[in-house]
Structure 1
């Protein structure tokens, strides 16, 4: 719900927020790519495994799971770009973006809900293997976001 709220807020008001702060979508795209690259490196190297949040410090569903892992710069930029591209198609385009957001977060919820069963099925070696593959794919997505952001910056010059 936290991720849906944050992404939905930026889908609706993101352009106004960025304009008020004088931040371009390209800058957000580059920062999102950098943060995704950091997460990808953690997945690839196994860094951060076994870290436990301080008891009582904060709700893990909000930080770090809700923000920035599920509703981070990458998903915010992707949603804002989807809304920007859907604008010419009108209400149907916005409804499609909204349905895609709900479907993606519902799929995430299913995987998180059944994570224990999935981990028992995959065992430790399968989990490590899938984590490394996901890290590699996430790194590629991050580099693509960085490249797209930098190219958009260069086009403006």
Structure 2
């Protein structure tokens, strides 16, 4: 396993998907449910997110080829989307999500797009494209599984996490994640620009 690639993929997905930041969102969306229902919602949300991420990791490139979209173009779009999410994290735009009127909140909007959103999908595809050997693919897969395991742990024990960190602690973590996410977004766009220039040359 390529540990450097694992670390990069894990940190990137951790910052994008933000397990600590999911706690207030999860509590807000499942607040009316009993403990058993909240635990079941955590499983469903993580399963949906993992399924979406894996699907795009496996077939995302085929979709891009069919549509004639280059990876640098996808990186640029992904970077802009990540920057938008980062600004929302920094300004508190995601602190008060509107509860859906109906439907399974564990699948939509929690599983997707809150967890498996455009940023996580694009980041996963970028890391898959960077992989050349079996060890690289295993490293990316392990990072995806590890982040989803943390997502489940934070949602499963959200009451304890909220009691320990309190709202101010989670707010601070969300702001730090927003700053890191903005830096990742800028790096994605910069790499895409360099790829465009190299391709034009």
Q: What is the TM-score when the length of structure 1 is the normalising length?
A: 0.85
In 2, Cα distance between equivalents of 1:113 and 1:47: 24
CA positional deviation for 1:134 = 1.4
Q: Which residue in 2 is equivalent to 1:100?
A: 143
Q: Which residue in 1 is equivalent to 2:30?
A: none
CA deviation string 1:128-152 (max 9, x = no partner): 2222111111111111112212222
CA deviation string 1:37-94 (max 9, x = no partner): 11111111112432322320x433333332233223332233223323333x2x3433
Q: Which residue in 1 is equivalent to 2:20?
A: none
Counterparts in 2 of 1:110 and 1:138: CA distance versus 1, 3 Å:
same
Aligned length, in residue pairs: 154
Q: Is the 8 A contact 1:32 1:74 kept in 2?
A: yes
1:25 is aligned to 2:71: yes
Counterparts in 2 of 1:140 and 1:92: CA distance versus 1, 3 Å:
closer
1:78 is aligned to 2:113: no
Q: Is the 8 A contact 2:75 2:126 kept in 1?
A: no
Give RMSD over aligned pairs: 1.9
Q: Is the 8 A contact 2:86 2:179 kept in 1?
A: yes
Q: Which residue in 2 is equivalent to 1:145?
A: 188
Q: What is the TM-score when the length of structure 2 is the normalising length?
A: 0.68
In 2, Cα distance between equivalents of 1:107 and 1:65: 15
CA positional deviation for 1:6 = 1.4
The farther-off stretch of 19-28 and 121-130 is 121-130
Q: Which residue in 2 is equivalent to 1:136?
A: 179
Unaligned runs of 5+ in 2: 1-46
Unaligned runs of 5+ in 1: none
